[in-house]
Amino acid sequence: MHTTTGFLHEGRAYGLLAAAGLRVPRHGFLDDGPLPFEPGEAIVLKGIADQLWHKSDRGAVYFGTFDLESLKAEAAAMQQRVPEHPWIGGLVCEKVAFKKVSGLPTEALVSLKRDPDAGWLVVCGIGGLQADAWAALAPPMIWPLALTTPEQALADLRAHWLGRTWLGLQRGTEALTDEPKLLDFLQGLWRATTGLAREGVTLLELNPIVLDSAGLPTALDGVGTLEADTSIAVIPPDPAWYQALLNPRRLVIAGVSSREGTVGRIILENVQKSKLPKDALRLIKPGATEFLGLPCLASVAELADAPTDQLILSLPAQQTLEAVEQLCRQGGGATVVYLVAGGLGDGADTEGLGQRLMAGLETHRREGKWTPAIVGPNGLGLFSPDLALNTLFIPGVKLPLTAKPGHLALVSQSGAFLITRLSRRPELGLRVAVAIGNQMDIRCSDCLRGFATDPTVKVVGAYLEGFAPGDLQATAEAAKTLRTSGRRVLLYKGGRSQEGMAAASSHTGALAGDHALQAAVLRRAGVMLADRMETFDAALAWLGTYPEGRPTVVAIMTNAGFESVASADLLSGPFRGARLTAPESADLAAAIAAEGLTGLVSARLPLDLTPMANEAAYLATAKVLLSSEADAVVVGLVPLTVRLDTKQLEAIQAFASELARLARASGKWLGVAVEGGSLYDLYRQGLRAAGLPVFLTMEEALEGLRLIAAEM
């Protein structure tokens, strides 16, 4: 009998499944001695050959009755039909009677896959010959084993079209099985991966899986791939990098020019505005002992005797590589090195400089030698409000940053994404905002692990275009650690389409993988994954003010009819509109009457106060809604009405402060949408200054809330 390398055939697959306690048909190879069948028993004969994935397409499946001699003859004929595939043998299998439902798919497809980035996965969907067509209507479920329990998978299956059919939850159907049997099956799949890993299996595809006469899921076919696990565990950098990056006591910059407006010069000018003592800052400037009033070192070699916490290298790619290699050779000099330059491991690297840098870092760590932590390359810098430390190479006239410490941490692969968020949301209270560039060393998962050690960080916002090799699972596990400790993780993943993947690759050298897989892994870890940048920004604004809680009941109040109607359309899915009790409705009616709006405003939700409402009317009715069952109140302010004072800063501040006070007193979330042009920017600024999340539209505000409400 021929043995295979790289191909997992059905006979071997059955053995691995049975060892995990899963139901497989009785079976045996024709040449393996006595077979477990009676003469005349209904059987299926399958021709098993190396790399023969689709047996029925090649005439290698035969339905008949058990007769040993005739089956041997049929197997010999099958072997002749697939001469290019080395023959393994004829596999005789029990013909399993299975349950069906007229007009509905009842066969399943299950894949167990060892993914290099996500670890072991179970993919489960509708199977059979039309599996691809059904997948468009009912997408398969993806369960990362490290982040999912069989019980959680059962809950997903119960809600899926396949599970609803199996359990008789579709209209007009009866149950074909029950939940205990499905849970046993799922637990068996989880157990099976242990044996698969031991045997070097990378993929096992089971199609179809049917429900036998007792309702037990049974794999009728199974093939896969075998490959030795050659992955090498990533050795993380010294955790000291985190504080050295955010709160350095000593900082050195290389690449500062005498010309104004150059990258290194802008970084220096920004750093000089920080709270770092002047003697904490040095420059590397060959041939100079002092430059721009700062002490200079001739090269990184001098850092061996006078080390720094953070070294910023604003140098060309070749010089950057040489500087890092020098640090490694001398065994010290900088805890963390921030690489500004591109041309290392990206599309501009035509000489393999990035590969050389990565190989050197990995070799040093594996040999137990001192190695600096590297952020970048292609990094735009960071902003750390505790020290007012700004290492971004964006001048202050373009991006004025004020030191406002808070509970948000932003990490972005794209520097441009980071600075546009800082520009659009200057009110956000930050622990840090850092651009990590190409993730050659410090990766997203490292940042999340750093944030997990920092009690100041309550919310993490992240933008990624791709995961460094093997970092998807590490990022998900780090996110789960944050979620377990009550923190939140919000992420926007770029590069989802083929065009987006190409753009991401050309931008930062990112490896953009399959988005559906990435989304499944991240959501299972508790990550809030935004589908649009606007949704990311809106959720970030909410969480910047309210890091705790998950509103699922929302009350709407506005002075515009269109906002009231449009908002009502959005109150579905993970949250619903608030309902008022009879006493609350009476209180609302009384507040409306006290403000002279009887006959104009109905005491119901969504509340349309009409353009006749002034600030007092908003405050009086907001107080009622904040005392209702609502977890959150969204206030729509169309500022074009003359009843609202949008010009006098003192009046704006008084109104905003009272709205914020009412929200704090109630313990509820309250956000404001100001739908108007740039004429009302002062109005928005006054509301933000009071600590309220402010949005351009009601839709934006509600989409951000929807993402938070759907958090796992």
> What pLDDT, on a 0 to 100 scale, did the predictor assign at position 357?
95
Q: Which residues of the chain form CATH 3.30.1490? A: 26-94
> What pLDDT, on a 0 to 100 scale, did the predictor assign at position 137?
83
The CA distance from 644 to 618, in Å, is: 10
Least confident of 19-23, 67-71, 504-508, 609-613: 504-508
Element (H, E) at 7: strand 7-8
Mean pLDDT, residues 377-391 taken together: 96
**Does the structure show a pLDDT above 80 at 231?**
no
Mean pLDDT, residues 514-520 taken together: 88
- pLDDT tens readout for residues 161-178: 999 999 999 988 999 999
DSSP code for 116: T
> What pLDDT, on a 0 to 100 scale, did the predictor assign at position 229?
72
- pLDDT tens readout for residues 132-146: 777 778 899 999 999
Instruction: pLDDT band for 497, please (50, 70, 90 cuts).
Output: low
Least confident of 56-65, 233-242, 510-519: 510-519
> What pLDDT, on a 0 to 100 scale, did the predictor assign at position 232?
72
Encoded amino acid at 117, one letter = D
- Give the Cβ contact number of residue 147 at 10 Å: 21
Least confident of 297-311, 341-355, 598-612: 341-355
Q: Please name the fold of domain 446-531.
A: Rossmann fold (3.40.50)
Sign of torsion over alpha carbons 254, 259, 262, 266: positive
In contact, 46 and 90? CB cutoff 8 Å = yes
In the chain, the percentage of residues whose pLDDT exceeds 90 is 87
> What pLDDT, on a 0 to 100 scale, did the predictor assign at position 421?
95
The CA distance from 204 to 683, in Å, is: 60
> What pLDDT, on a 0 to 100 scale, did the predictor assign at position 103?
84
- pLDDT tens readout for residues 428-460: 999 999 999 999 999 999 999 999 999 999 999
Query: What's the pTM value of the predicted model, to 2 decimals?
Result: 0.90
Angle among Cα 431, 433, 437 to the nearest 5 degrees reads 145
Tokens of 312: 């910023």
Mean pLDDT, residues 487-500 taken together: 78
CATH code assigned to 548-709: 3.40.50.261
- pLDDT tens readout for residues 392-420: 999 999 999 987 899 999 999 999 999 99
Least confident of 124-128, 202-206, 497-501, 697-701: 497-501
In the chain, the percentage of residues whose pLDDT exceeds 70 is 96
**Does the structure show a pLDDT above 70 at 5?**
no
> What pLDDT, on a 0 to 100 scale, did the predictor assign at position 128?
78
Mean pLDDT, residues 303-315 taken together: 97
Q: Which residue has the higher pLDDT, 345 or 19?
A: 19
Sheet arrangement for strand 373-375: 290-291, 294-297, 281-284, 251-254, 308-313, 334-339, 373-375
Using a 10 angstrom Cβ sphere, with 0-12 exposed, 13-18 middle and 19 or more buried, the burial of residue 116 is middle
- pLDDT tens readout for residues 543-583: 999 999 999 999 999 999 999 999 989 998 899 999 999 99
> What pLDDT, on a 0 to 100 scale, did the predictor assign at position 346?
85
Mean pLDDT, residues 612-625 taken together: 97
Which residues lie below 8 Å from residue 282, measured CB to CB, with a gap of 6+?
250, 251, 252, 253, 294, 295, 296, 297, 308
Mean pLDDT, residues 522-541 taken together: 96
Which residues lie below 8 Å from residue 167, measured CB to CB, with a gap of 6+?
158, 175, 176, 177, 178, 179, 182
Residues in the chain: 712
**Does the structure show a pLDDT above 70 at 673?**
yes
**Does the structure show a pLDDT above 70 at 316?**
yes
> What pLDDT, on a 0 to 100 scale, did the predictor assign at position 496?
61
- pLDDT tens readout for residues 212-227: 999 999 999 999 999 8
**Does the structure show a pLDDT above 80 at 591?**
yes
Q: Which residues of the chain form CATH 3.30.470.20? A: 108-226
Which residues lie below 8 Å from residue 156, measured CB to CB, with a gap of 6+?
141, 143, 163
> What pLDDT, on a 0 to 100 scale, did the predictor assign at position 544?
97
**Does the structure show a pLDDT above 60 at 509?**
no
> What pLDDT, on a 0 to 100 scale, did the predictor assign at position 2?
42
Least confident of 211-225, 346-360, 625-639: 346-360
Report DSSP letters for 434-447, one per residue.
EE-TT-SSS-HHHH
> What pLDDT, on a 0 to 100 scale, did the predictor assign at position 511?
32
Class for the domain spanning 108-226: alpha beta
Q: Which residue has the higher pLDDT, 181 or 505?
A: 181
Q: Please name the fold of domain 236-442.
A: Rossmann fold (3.40.50)
**Does the structure show a pLDDT above 50 at 501?**
no
In contact, 234 and 22? CB cutoff 8 Å = no
Tokens of 383: 């902003």
Q: Which residues of the chain form CATH 3.40.50.261? A: 446-531, 548-709
Answer yes or no: CATH 3.20.20 is held by domain 26-94: no
Mean pLDDT, residues 113-128 taken together: 91
> What pLDDT, on a 0 to 100 scale, did the predictor assign at position 3?
46
pLDDT averaged over the chain?
Answer: 93
Instruction: pLDDT band for 503, please (50, 70, 90 cuts).
Output: very low
